[in-house]
Structure 1
Amino acid sequence: MTTTITTSLFLLLVLSCVLQASSNGDAEILSRVKTSRLSDPEGKLNDWVITGDNRNPCNWTGITCDSKNGAVTAIDLSDYGISGGFPYGFCRIRTLINITLSKNNLNGTIDSSPLSLCSRIHVLILTENSFSGNLPEFSPEFRNLRVLELESNFFSGEIPESYGKLTSLQALNLNGNSLGGIVPAFLGNLTELTRLELAYVQFEPGPIPSTFGNLTKMTYLRLTNSNIVGEIPDSIGNLVSLVNLDLAQNGLSGEIPESIGKLKSIYQMVLYINQLSGKLPESIGNLTAMRNFDVSQNNLSGELPETIAALQVVSFHLNDNLFTGELPRGIALNPNLVDFKIFNNSFTGSLPTSFGKFSGLTEFDVSTNRFSGELPPYLCYGKKLEKLIIFSNQLSGEIPETYGECDTLNYIRMADNKLSGEVPVRFWELPLTRLELSNNRLEGSIPLSISKARRLSQLEISGNNFSGAIPARICDLGGLRDVDLSRNRFSGSIPSCINRLKNLERVEMQENMLDGEIPSSVSSCAKLTELNLSDNRLRGEIPPELGELPVLNYLDLSNNQLSGEIPAELLKLKLNLFNVSDNKLSGKIPSGFQQDVFLPSFLGNPGLCAPDMDPIRPCRSKPEPRFILVISVVCIVALIGALVWLFIKTKPLFQRKPNRTDKVTIFQRIGFTEEDIYPQLTEDNIIGSGGSGLVYRVTLKSGQTLAVKKLWGGPGQKPESESVFRSEVEILGRVRHGNIVKLLMCCSGEEFRFLVYEYMENGSLGDVLHSEKEHRAVSPLDWTTRFSIALGAAQGLAYLHHDSVPAIVHRDVKSNNILLDHEMKPRVADFGLAKPLRREVNNGVSDVSPMSCVAGSYGYIAPEYGYTSRVNEKSDVYSFGVVLLELITSKRPNDSSFGENKDIVKFAMESALSYSSPSPEDKAMNQDSPGNCRDLSKLVDPKMELSRGEYGEVEKVFEIALLCTSSFPISRPTMRKVVELLKEKKPLE
């Protein structure tokens, strides 16, 4: 007995010693890897140090040990801010089965040879790092690997065949990498898979492999936005364990297979933005566990089956399809329904009365259908409704009183129906951001209590029978941006308190019965771009203060009873439309308006006069003694002109005057004509040459300097030149923004065409950054100026993308197309390749029409242009990101210093991935900024001398540039967001 006890104690002692030795060995491995392979700038691994009291790694940060034997089994360093390469050395710990290193700054490639050390692991999670190169190969020894997650890195190449042999794999996640090839069929061999994610990968166009039908244990399948084409295979019905199916944003076509009704466990089915057609299979009605159903933005048609309508889904999206027929009544009985969107279809009949009575609806959008009948009275029965959108139907009757009690409503659009009666008083008081009731048959007045709607920014009630005065209480709505009260029966005067609405951008009050004077206080609305008060009974004089509105470009005061003279102060405005016709104005038209382009603006005012503006009567003046002498001089000049004409006719084309048949269009107020310009289009005045023509610097006698682009050939002679001319005229002729170059006029004749712009003294940004001439106006550019240029150019592009109607995509954003005036303020220029965004649907995505060839400039073209002929705003965002990198580096996009087959984007990306810890000098420079800064020494133009604060700002702009130049368009911010990011004072998160 004693011997047995002694033996047991001895064995325990030996085991303890072995475990202690093993523990000490693991600690040494961890400490060595940290020192040699990883950087820990945030000090989160400071306890990874072997000391007398700290030899057991089980107590170290991120380490998990087996509770029975104390062996290290898992290393989880997620979101610790560590950097460096892949820590192969961790795998020398023989008991390790889990390596999780997600959300760090690890980079470099992962080589298969040293990776073989890790063949015993079960879990490898490296998501949200910066690993690059080909996906790592896994040898047959990785027979126990169950979880492999490599999402959001920079891996490239095809998925290796070795992945098809990882037969124990249960989860594979490769989302957000730049992989090639198509989705491989061999993944169908992984019969233990429960989760497969290959989203945002941009494979080559290819189908869903039918072999995926073998994955019967699959619960989660995500192939979002990965260039999947063809039909959904019938074998999809074999995935009977599937809970989540996401095939959105691809090119899937054909009908949805009937076999999809076998997915009895499905909770979410997402198929939006594809090209699916035909009817919805009746079998979908069998999916009683489904709660989220989205087949929007396809080409599906037919009626909605009652079995599908009866499903108790939470989110139901059928919008942007071709559905017809009436809605089954049972759809409104669903107790789970929260989000209901079926807009942009052709549904008919009435809306079920009980909608909202049995569920807590939050969003209800049935707009752009053919519904008739009255509005469902219970939509807000659950007191949760936030958005009510029913515009463009044939709905009639009154707005239910119950809607006015819906305090959760913040967004209402009811335009273009047949609604009638008075709007419930409480309806005006709701905490809305937008209220749109236009083009109905509503009546009554705006109550004083509208002042309670303090969040309202858009009030659009045009085309109704509203009457009474516009209440002064409307001035309490300080957030109002857009007010459209036009085509009603409002009377009384315009509230003089309008000056309190500092955010007003558009005011439309035309076609009412307003009287009184135009309040001069409107001049305080500094953001106002459009003011339309036409077709009213306004009287008095036009307030000269209107000329102080800095961005007003649309002013229509026609068909009123205004009197007095036209204020010369209005000449300060940069007007795209100006109309004061049909009033009682008198006196001389200000000289700046005495142009043919403005003639219709003054008709119907018998008291107005101007020289040479037939049918406007000429202004009378008293005869002077010198009248006869003047006439004589004029006759002599005319005679001399006739004699000289023959000589002029024989001069070269650039010295001849235009023919009388030339078409001249004026876009801005100018004090010159085409005859002042044409003689100066000489060889000595050429300052540039491009694919479409020559650019001249023209200095007028007045001292004004212009830039004139004379296009190659005449109309019909060179299609690309004609396209440039048309694009510049159509787009720049109507665009008004401080960061977009101004087109002043254009002239087109039988032998020539030219465009006249404001002259930019400092040339292009490309010239300033890259020119080798030493007599540049600013050399080198300091960071403050560069940042100002970046912000101004971003604001110009944001205007094109988000504020112009229609939106415009530039298609050739580059530093040479950003011009700089005498104050170095930027102007986006050269719209020869620009196209309006017609919002055509391509797989549900709005973009311009397909292009016959790639447009843009080498080094600036977005990568997706290589595999699709369609572009949208995100193509401009990529190009702008390249410009930001130019501003930081002062290098051209394809500078030879980057190395072979590298451009500025690849160079910047590699620099971002391999940056080292900041030096003491860098730390000192950034001591006011939180966190650690990148080492940008290899990137920043060495000629810039940066202060501490500027260095942090450069880093932020660099981060924005990386966002803009993301390989995936969906990952890039909008230009509006870019402006916000640039304006933010804090570092980019």
Structure 2
Amino acid sequence: MGVPSIVTTLWVFSLLSNTYFFSPVGALNEEGAALLSFKASIREDPEGSLANWNSSDLDPCSWNGITCREGEVVSISLPKSKLLGSLPSSLGSLPSLRHINLRNSRLQGGLPPGVFAARGLQSLVLSGNSLSGPLPPEIGKLSYLQNLDLSDNSLNDSIPIALFQCKRLKSLDISHNNFTNSLPIGLGSNLAGLQKLDLSYNRLNGSIPSDIGSLSSLQGTVDLSHNLFSGAIPASLGNLPEKVYIDLTYNNLSGPIPQNGALVNRGPTAFIGNPGLCGTPLKNPCSSGTPASSPSTLPSLPKNHPPPASEANNSQKSNHRGLSRSAVIAIVMSDVVAIGLMAVAFFCCYRMAVSSSGEEEGGKSDTGSNGGKKCACFRKDESEKQSENVEQFDLIPLDHRVHYNLDELLKASAFVLGKSEIGFMYKVVLEDGLILAVRRLGEGGSQRFKEFQTEAEAIAKVRHPNIVALRAYYWSIEEKLLIYDYIPNGTLSAAIHGKGGNAHFSPLSWDARLKIMKGIAKGLAFLHEFSPKKYVHGDLKPNNVLLDMKMEACISDFGLGRLANIAGESPTMQSTEKPQNQISDVAVSPIMSSALSYQAPEAFSTLKPSQKWDVYSYGVILLELISGRSPVVLMDNSEMDLVRWVQFCIDERKPLLDVLDPFLAKEPEKEDQIITVLKIALACVQFNPEKRPPMRHVSDTLERSTTRS
């Protein structure tokens, strides 16, 4: 009995010992093993995103894209990683997983139901992949889910009613897929906390559920566009918050448009592409009884458009139609000569200032009451006396990064860039190579220095990447100068239409134009909503939108009219700035009324600018970027402003190609984006200011609708 017992004990000991010694001491934990199964499902990893996912580690917390909390995986974030492969069910076995972000990769196949076993998931972002198949009903198990973004895939079949069990959802974006059938009832009653809803570009049909009107927390845009929804627009949509923009474009909706709540005062751009709709704000009256024409299968312009512009526009432009070719040439030549003389005067004065500063250290230097040197380059006749109540200042910096002084400015090389009613603009190159843009406000007699100082300091506080910064200023009885950052790539006007005599003009690509559009929108939205005083620009046009080295848009001349008025220039609201602002060559627009075409219709009947003026001007700029045309279009022997010309093309049912810049016709893959921007532009140029969207909404819509990254 003893021997067998000993043998058995030794055998068991040997077995246990072998197991101990041949097992790895620091084996990867279960979460790491689950993630390695994901790596195994990836066939291509061109960016090396998973290169440090190794089985030799104790846990995956140091791996690229993995975030842990208390040793447990809570986030997988590998956006834009270009991973080619599929999603494994094993991701659902991570018990503490809260966030998955695998957007803009190349994931294929279906959504495995096992992924939704991660019950604590709060954010699931898989947009911009090639996922297909249905959305599994197991998604209803994610009771903590707040953000679901499955946009830009090929998911299909019905939207499962189980989705409405995710009652904590705040953002739902399933746009640009192939979802079909009707939208289940219960969206509004179950997802009361929803703040973002985008169902656009699918094949959803049937009627729009009336309970969507119960989504009282929605913000921004409710996008139901580019589907197959039919029937009437439910009046309950008017119960949505009034600031919400409801996009119902390109469906099969019919009947009268309800006029209540959030549906009141909406422009026609919210309803285009639904031939069966009638009533305000469309031109199709409900009482007409005329059957609507079927929509064309070819790309075309939106069927509806803003009401005609003010007749004041016509009267403003008619004064310029009689200009002959010789008159235009004379104007051009006189401006060229005047600017050339100013350049010579600037250079000579600068030389005099430099030489006089070295004559004697005693009494011959020009100093003011506080010892600061006068700006001799722009000095008046010595016989003129200064007003006793005017303080004389040196260069006043408005930014701590300003390290140059007036003396360095005087010694700099200066080149005339352009001229307007407000004054000349110079390119100034300091001895250390720094380049500045200096605007001379002239020799106004008003001496409201304190008011000027307060206004300049307020303007200088506006800091945004898409707004040209005011860095310093100079004030004296004889001269007022504004010093800005120098923006090297010229004006947007030159980028759209080229500069005179430039044989190497290259039209902007659509992506470049879209980038510029977004930059202007962000800058204006900042001015309107987030700047210290919620400013208005009041004179936005391509000549004062500058482009930097990366072709980012920079809005210039903000606050210029106010400063010039204080300085005594009393400029008109519509400055006739020539197209050469900043780097472009001296030239005069051949159509003298073009600057007025960017002004909102109401600008001709009231002197107080509003943010709605800027929205209109921005809309005209969008149309100019889309069409490549000047703001005044020549038709036979007459002129028509760009807004009315686009309206004319819509009325005549002309194809989209007739409106597009011919260069953009080479990019047919951008058609959807172009149509989206055209819709935004038409909303901005509504005749009624109250129907124009705020710039913050315009910027958000432009970013959301055209960016899938």
Determine which structure has the larger strand proportion and give its number. Answer: 1
The TM-score range, normalised by the shorter chain, is: 0.3 to 0.5
Determine which structure has the larger helix proportion and give its number. Answer: 2
**TM-score, normalising length: structure 2:** 0.43
